[in-house]
Amino acid sequence: MPKLNIEFSGFDEAVKRLESLEGNVKKTAGEALKKSKQTVQKNLEKAMQKHNRTHATVKSLDNESGVTWVGGVGTIYVGFNIAEGGLSSVFLMYGTPRIKKDSKLYNAVYGKKIRDEIKKIQEEAFYDEIRRLSDS
């Protein structure tokens, strides 16, 4: 299952600024990752509409897992839970010798447009928190 990390230009400066304002970096990062996951999951649901005969693959979307922290690095998993019926998503995303890959489904997770949108979401989460702390 793919995972998301916090990645945007100016991230280190935003963390330093947030720390100087005595903000909670871990909480802010966690919220940014959760918002990013929601966006990816919505895109996946939309891209799966044409493959939705049995609804089994869409039901396997992992909406439950939260942020996992290893040291100071937080990650969140997105996409389909393979063990719960999401295996077909792999074949749909990458194709098979007989089936062409579904670029819309692939791009819902890995495309440039969604990556840019995730960066914007994460950046806004940090700078909104910095503004909130600066104003108080």
63 Cβ neighbours under 8 A, 6+ residues apart: 41
Region 103-130 average pLDDT: 94
User: Residue 61: which of 89, 101, 94, 32 has the closest Cα?
Assistant: 89
What is the domain range of residue 51? 7-128
Contact 128, 120 (CB under 8 A): no
11 phi and psi, to 5 degrees? -60, -45
- Provide mean pLDDT across the span 86-105: 93
In a domain, 1, yes or no: no
Give a yes or no: residue 133 inside a domain: no
Whole-number pLDDT of residue 9 = 85
Domains of the chain: total: 1
* Domain membership flag for residue 135: no
Whole-prediction pTM: 0.87
- Residue 29 located in a structural domain: yes
Tell whether 79 is covered by a domain. yes
What pLDDT, in 10s, does the model give residues 16-69? 999 999 999 999 999 999 999 999 999 999 999 888 778 888 889 988 878 998
